[in-house]
Chains A and B, each alone.
Chain A
Amino acid sequence: MRKKAVMTMEKTELRILAVETSCDETAAAVMKNGREILSNVIYSQIDLHTLYGGVVPEIASRKHIEKICQVIDKALSDASVTLDDIDVIAVTYGPGLVGALLVGVSAAKAIAFAKKKPLVGVHHIEGHISANYIEYPELEPPFVTLVASGGHSHLALVKDYGVYEILGRTRDDAAGEAFDKVARAIGLGYPGGPKIDRAAKEGDPYAIELPRAKVGDSDFDFSFSGLKSAVLNYLNSEKMAGREIRVNDVAASFQQAVVDVLVSHTMEAIDRYGQKKLAIAGGVASNTALRAAFEEACAARDVRFYRPSPILCTDNAAMIGCAAYYEYLRGVRHGWDLNAVPALKLGETN
């Protein structure tokens, strides 16, 4: 009885339990009023997948089902709450690996059903964008955002909470995917992002001439497969000529080419849409060269630059809880038939 009274008094506080299993991190978080992290638990499977040089979907799904309850339990206990204190259950339902997504979706639905809580399905990329709201309490739409990760490269205009205009996306490989493939080719291994970042610091970014691809009919779309092929061709021709590969130079030159394209497209969007704020997100947003390049480009234009700390750039559930908060306020509720949508498009959430 007492508990009920307290809950009514504190009704201005909205607590969301969020679950994220779209790739190889099993994650759960408790968020207060959208932007305050009460807990943020991530179980990373990365060591498991390193053996295979990339994420193996079936292994990821198997690990998710083993860990899901522990991760949720820890998120609740770290936040010093029980499920009774939770107002909304949120879960990533796409895009991502379908088998992996299904574990989080099925578990979150069952919990919401059992505890009679509203369910909000969240778009993974919207989560990444929302990581900026957590990092910067003052940040509000509109702003331009670049989401670059192992599976995604999106350039979008955030018009309002949950309202996006997609300006550009990748036509082939995601930026992070290109990092992984090049890292593998030069023997740095998986995951490619941080390894190339580190090696590039010791290399010459202009040692090797690499293309900066423009996609013919679009100013803002990306293409990274040509760049990846150019690196592979370079490696082959050097090998044929019997020359030693300078790994650090290859890493630095490749990284510079990616950074140049991401920054030029993004700044072009800032200019065209007359925006004064840029927020980046996703695993690639942790890249130090990319951050430095954006800082410089934004300072030159008097644009405010927002970038979440690395822990919020990786896949996590806090960002999902944050995105769910604004979706919830907009009236979004999902039914018990919510399914995983592996190719869910941003702005097509239902």
Chain B
Amino acid sequence: MRLLSIDSSGLTASVAVTEDDRLIAEYNVNYKKTHSQTLLPMIDEILRMTELDPETLDAVAVSKGPGSFTGLRIGSAAAKGLAQALNIPIIEIPTLLGLACNAFGSDEIICPIMDARRSQVYTALYRCMSKTEDLLNFREWEELKEQCAIGIGELTAELNGRFSETDRILFLGDGVPVFREYLDTNLRVSHSYAPSHMNRQRAAAFAPLAIKYYREGKTVSCFDHAPEYLRLSQAEREKNEGIRQKGAAY
């Protein structure tokens, strides 16, 4: 099973080629160029470097969202175009679960946070669980909190209420530099922050999960894949708010 995985949900553009349990190549760029300029040249580069024909790919995995609306669409459109042209399926990885995969094996509570602007974060909570006692290395992701967009204050209150002082939380994602000071001041649960090699989106990190999904048949066609934004467009939001206000007036 040869997989190309893509993540352009945040500032980092990340692509990887994985063959079963072997990472063949990965390429991560966190630079100011737009994903439109970097993503496909990166895919071209790693396939040429590893002398792989795109035709030999079995599937393409892509970060489904949330994230930058435009970033998500660049990754999605690339995945859809590749899947359509090569007649292969797409594996959708929730962005925050993909981020959590960086901390595979950790016994901490994993809390990815992405800066969603307006003092909000895209976040979720995961724990890397041993699924059964008898299988040594078989672990699975337990979702403690579904992906959502919430205020950093609300998240902190929830964490304070939900976890005790003996629990430990690991934060990662581009929300960390924005909210680290806030968390250190307001969060009572003991916590730490992931280092640079695992604190941003990394296509290689979620490839094993994508391959697992592929084997379980959890794939979609190029026609059915679309990003999940977790937020309406501004126009739709304002329209809904207008309707609500009008409703309240009557």
Interface residues of A (CB under 8 A from B): 51-52, 56, 58-59, 61-62, 65-66, 68-70, 72-73, 83, 98-99, 102-111, 113-115, 335-340
Interface residues on B, range: 35 or more
CA distance A102 to B8 in the complex (A): 13
> Nearest Cβ distance between residue B96 and chain A, in whole angstroms?
20
- Asked if A110 and B36 sit within 8 Å, CB to CB, the answer is no
B85 within 8 A of A: yes
> Nearest Cβ distance between residue A95 and chain B, in whole angstroms?
15
Among the interface residues B37, B69, B77, which one has the most CB atoms of the partner chain A within 10 A?
B77
> Nearest Cβ distance between residue A122 and chain B, in whole angstroms?
16
Q: Which residue of A lies closest to B55 (CB)?
A: A114
| Chain B residues closer than 8 Å to A339, beta-carbon distance | 34, 36-37
CA distance A66 to B77 in the complex (A): 9
- Asked if B40 and A110 sit within 8 Å, CB to CB, the answer is yes
> Nearest Cβ distance between residue B170 and chain A, in whole angstroms?
32
- Asked if A52 and B235 sit within 8 Å, CB to CB, the answer is yes
Q: Which residue of A lies closest to B83 (CB)?
A: A69
| Chain A residues closer than 8 Å to B86, beta-carbon distance | 114
- Asked if B37 and A65 sit within 8 Å, CB to CB, the answer is no
| Chain B residues closer than 8 Å to A107, beta-carbon distance | 77-78, 80-81, 84
| Chain B residues closer than 8 Å to A114, beta-carbon distance | 54-55, 81-82, 85-86
CA distance A265 to B65 in the complex (A): 50
| Chain A residues closer than 8 Å to B229, beta-carbon distance | 62
| Chain B residues closer than 8 Å to A102, beta-carbon distance | 36, 70, 73-74, 77
- Asked if B41 and A336 sit within 8 Å, CB to CB, the answer is yes
B24-60, CB under 8 A of A: which get 1 and which 0?
Answer: 0000000000101111110110000000001100000
| Chain A residues closer than 8 Å to B37, beta-carbon distance | 337, 339
- Pick the residue among B34, B84, B226, B234 that contacts A65 (CB under 8 A): B226
Q: Which residue of A lies closest to B54 (CB)?
A: A114
- Pick the residue among A52, A56, A108 that contacts B81 (CB under 8 A): A108
Q: Which residue of B lies closest to A62 (CB)?
A: B233
CA distance A99 to B72 in the complex (A): 11
| Chain B residues closer than 8 Å to A115, beta-carbon distance | 85
CA distance A72 to B83 in the complex (A): 13
A-B contacts, 10 of them at CB < 8 A, read: A58-B234, A61-B73, A102-B73, A105-B77, A106-B36, A109-B81, A114-B54, A114-B55, A337-B37, A340-B36
- Pick the residue among A58, A98, A110 that contacts B82 (CB under 8 A): A110
Q: Which residue of B lies closest to A340 (CB)?
A: B36
> Nearest Cβ distance between residue A46 and chain B, in whole angstroms?
15
- Asked if B222 and A113 sit within 8 Å, CB to CB, the answer is no
Q: Which residue of A lies closest to B229 (CB)?
A: A62
A/B pair count, beta carbons within 8 Å: 112
Q: Which residue of A lies closest to B36 (CB)?
A: A339
| Chain B residues closer than 8 Å to A105, beta-carbon distance | 36, 77
B102 within 8 A of A: no
B236 within 8 A of A: yes
Q: Which residue of A lies closest to B78 (CB)?
A: A110
- Pick the residue among B74, B80, B82, B233 that contacts A59 (CB under 8 A): B233
| Chain B residues closer than 8 Å to A108, beta-carbon distance | 81
- Asked if A69 and B223 sit within 8 Å, CB to CB, the answer is yes
| Chain A residues closer than 8 Å to B78, beta-carbon distance | 106-107, 109-110
CA distance A104 to B84 in the complex (A): 14
| Chain B residues closer than 8 Å to A103, beta-carbon distance | 73, 77
- Asked if B77 and A113 sit within 8 Å, CB to CB, the answer is no
A336 with B73: in contact, given A62-B233, A109-B78, A115-B85 (CB under 8 Å)?
Answer: no
Give the 5 A-B CB pairs with smallest separation, nearest first: A110-B81, A106-B77, A114-B85, A58-B233, A336-B40
B62-106, CB under 8 A of A: which get 1 and which 0?
Answer: 000000011001101111111111100000000000000000000
| Chain B residues closer than 8 Å to A52, beta-carbon distance | 235, 239
| Chain A residues closer than 8 Å to B43, beta-carbon distance | 113, 336
- Asked if B36 and A65 sit within 8 Å, CB to CB, the answer is no
- Asked if A337 and B233 sit within 8 Å, CB to CB, the answer is no
B112 within 8 A of A: no
B227 within 8 A of A: yes
Known: A56-B236, A107-B81, A339-B36. 6 other contacts (CB 8 A): A62-B226, A72-B84, A106-B74, A106-B78, A113-B54, A335-B41
CA distance A69 to B77 in the complex (A): 9
> Nearest Cβ distance between residue B94 and chain A, in whole angstroms?
17
- Asked if A65 and B85 sit within 8 Å, CB to CB, the answer is no
- Pick the residue among A51, A66, A111 that contacts B239 (CB under 8 A): A51
> Nearest Cβ distance between residue B235 and chain A, in whole angstroms?
4
